[in-house]
Amino acid sequence: MEKQLKCVIVGGVAGGMSAAARLRRLDEHAEIIVLEAGPEVSFANCGLPYFVGGEITDPAELLVQTPESLRASLNIDVRVNHQVTSLDAENHIVGGVGPDGPFQIGYDQLVLSPGASAMRPPIPGLDNPRVHTLRTVGDALAMRGLVTGPTPAQSAVVLGAGFIGLEAAEALRLQRLDVTVVEMAPHVLPPLETEMANLVQDELRRLGIGLAVGVSAQSITDAAAGVTVTLSDGRRVPADLVVLSAGVAPASGPFADAGLVCDARGAILVDDIGRTNLKDVWAVGDATASIDAVTGVRRPVPLAGPANRDGRIVADNIVAVRDGRPGRPFAKPLGSAIVRIGGLTVAMTGANRASLQAAGIEFTTIHTHPLGHAAYFPGAKQVHLMVHMGTDGRLLGAQGVGAQNVDKRIDVLATAMRGGLTVPELIDLDLCYSPPYGSAKDPVNMIGYLADNVLTGRLALWQPAELDWARREAFLLDVRSATEFAAGHVPEAVNVPHTQLRARLDEVAALAAGRPIAITCQSGVRSYLAHRVLEAAGLPSRSLSGGMLTLRQWLGEAASDVVVKDARP
Ligand SMILES: Cc1cc2nc3c(=O)[nH]c(=O)nc-3n(C[C@H](O)[C@H](O)[C@H](O)COP(=O)(O)OP(=O)(O)OC[C@H]3O[C@@H](n4cnc5c(N)ncnc54)[C@H](O)[C@@H]3O)c2cc1C
């Protein structure tokens, strides 16, 4: 009879429990032991901010499974409060400390899914008891207690404006705290492009959340009531509660000490099917480095989707390798991510400008500002989409912000990326449509049309980052109506509405005086029409990608300094 497989899994949440549950479905006779340092397994870490904010009211909703339910349904031996502290890979033994003292457990196969822990920047006072993290059910219960208890906290500072930091900030604001978000990067949600992040910052302000971006916390000191957080720009922000959300670090410590190969950040390196450098040791999730699908760079992608997916695949691969079959490679993550900020949905997939530039990949960026569904159906709201496209038309990344159907557009684009579609091939996507849901030419199709025009040379774009060039070296032509122009334009721009352009070509040529023409309109549609007219007249021109909407979003608060109103009556 075949020897019974004994598999030990470290970490009992996303990646670990996916591996354990799948392994049981593949092998009824395997002995499966899950060692979890915390008091709960399989909890909904992604739901924690919504419990703090009061949208999820019953903490039991956060506990997807318990050790008892896992024993009953899947015959998995889940041992909570078991912290693994050592690994002897040669002898196939993990050791640690449990409720009954030290333990040692042998394994045939070991899966590591220890996740990540909150990064702790060297800020004096960070160990103050008013500083909290939001990573476990216990953290969420404690934070909810602080905001709803007999003397509820009145104010909070959130250190770090990543996804979890902003979710925490919104949750605390929902509980009517005065909230200030502190972010060292120039804008919130650092992976987001500037023109998208400024929309998010406007929404945070609308929610009444204070922002301190481009600054860092220097110290946290006790005050008469609560603490004072001193910022690098000298501001002193009082707070009853500080939420530390300044990024995560792989929780690979005990295993790296055992000879596991990790990158400089401590992320465990695995091969394409999830094996580490140590025999019979596999790893998944936040603790590992993945290979970015677009740039090929190895980096941790701390998201629930990849952790769950790879946990399941690792179980498949353990059985495949045991049975002499090849394993199934992990899909390289696109980093698709989404967050709700007030009335906005913010979503992204693939690479952003910074990662493309770092990888030396050439790209063009396309912006559009369509309505979430047909304009004539009540309630249509504008959404803001952008994609990065390679010189060969490859879809490299996409981001979206808006109040309607942003998630569906970015998910379609993520699917297209996974399927290897080029941006012009988006034209051919057969997407479902009726007026409450979309448009006959869906915004995703429209991105395809735009991209096709760019690649075939029918449309040349200039980008908001080239504003200085447009103001100094080009002739800036604004083709909106006189009323729109008067309401706000770049000072150097001359207004010739696109409907008058054909009749005024000589005047435009004279004004351009041999300079390239940088065309602007509101969203990029009329400037495209103007570009075609100018090109036909032999006048070289480029159309501002996404028009003045994109320019204003790119400039953010600085827009009021650059975009002027017409002083003329
Ligand atoms: C508040 C919050 C909100 C989030 N929201 C989202 C979201 O909306 N969307 C999204 O995609 N992702 C979200 N994430 C991230 C997502 O939860 C993680 O990417 C995912 O859980 C990673 O899975 P994992 O198995 O690698 O680690 P985890 O799910 O974190 O599990 C690791 C477990 O291992 C245990 N462990 C660690 N070291 C040891 C050890 N030495 N011995 C024993 N046990 C150990 C830990 O206690 C932990 O329970 C969120 C995370 C948090 C904290």
**φ, ψ of residue 69 in degrees (nearest 5):** -65, -35
- Is the beta carbon of 134 within 6 A of some atom in ligand 1? yes
Atom of ligand 1 nearest to the CA of 15: 25
Q: Confirm if 194 and 278 have CB atoms less than 8 A apart.
A: no
**Which of 62, 286, 330 to mutate to test ligand 1, by most ligand atoms within 8 A of the CB atom?**
286
Place of tokens 């029409």: 529
Q: What is the mean pLDDT of residues 382-393?
A: 97
Gap from CA of 251 to ligand 1 centroid (Å): 10
Q: What secondary structure letter does DSSP report for 354? A: H
Q: Quick one: how far is CA 438 from the chain centroid?
A: 24
Task: State percent of the chain over pLDDT 90.
Answer: 97
Instruction: Give the list of residues 6+ apart from residue 86 with CB closer than 8 angstroms, or none.
Output: 94, 95, 96, 254, 257, 258
Q: Confirm if 199 and 553 have CB atoms less than 8 A apart.
A: yes
Gap from CA of 78 to ligand 1 centroid (Å): 17
One-letter amino acid at 287 equals: A
**Which of 18, 33, 45, 81 to mutate to test ligand 1, by most ligand atoms within 8 A of the CB atom?**
45
Q: What is the pLDDT of residue 569?
A: 45
- Is the beta carbon of 305 within 6 A of some atom in ligand 1? yes
pLDDT in tens, 60-94: 999 989 999 999 999 999 999 999 999 999 999 99
Give pTM, 2 decimals: 0.95
Question: Which two tokens mark 352?
Answer: 């952003």
Please, what sign has the CA dihedral across residues 24, 27, 29, 31? negative
Atom of ligand 1 nearest to the CA of 255: 41
Q: Which residue, by CA, sits nearest to atom 15 of ligand 1?
A: 303
- Is the beta carbon of 517 within 6 A of some atom in ligand 1? no
- Is the beta carbon of 162 within 6 A of some atom in ligand 1? no
**CA distances (Å), origin 345, targets 276, 301, 382, 400, 409:** 37, 21, 12, 8, 11
Counting Cβ atoms within 10 Å, is residue 367 exposed (0-12), middle (13-18) or buried (19+)? Answer: buried
- Is the beta carbon of 35 within 6 A of some atom in ligand 1? yes
**CA distances (Å), origin 151, targets 147, 158, 241, 466:** 8, 20, 12, 52
pLDDT in tens, 517-553: 999 999 999 999 999 999 999 999 999 999 999 999 9
Q: What is the mean pLDDT of residues 141-160?
A: 96
Gap from CA of 276 to ligand 1 centroid (Å): 20
pLDDT in tens, 270-312: 999 999 999 999 999 999 999 999 999 999 999 999 999 999 9
Q: What is the mean pLDDT of residues 346-355?
A: 98
pLDDT in tens, 455-502: 999 999 999 999 999 999 999 999 999 999 999 999 999 999 999 999
**CA distances (Å), origin 141, targets 87, 119, 120, 151:** 32, 21, 21, 16
Q: What is the mean pLDDT of residues 230-240?
A: 97
One-letter amino acid at 538 equals: G
Other C-beta atoms within 10 Å of 149: how many? 9
If we measure between CA atoms, which residue out of 277, 274, 276 comes closest to residue 306? 274
The SS3 of residue 386 is strand
- Is the beta carbon of 274 within 6 A of some atom in ligand 1? no
- Is the beta carbon of 132 within 6 A of some atom in ligand 1? no
Task: State percent of the chain over pLDDT 70.
Answer: 99
Gap from CA of 113 to ligand 1 centroid (Å): 9
Question: Which two tokens mark 290?
Answer: 């993945």
DSSP assignment of 514-566, as one string?
TSPEEEE-SSSHHHHHHHHHHHHTT--EEEETTHHHHHHHHHGGGHHHHSB--
pLDDT in tens, 27-43: 999 999 999 999 999 99
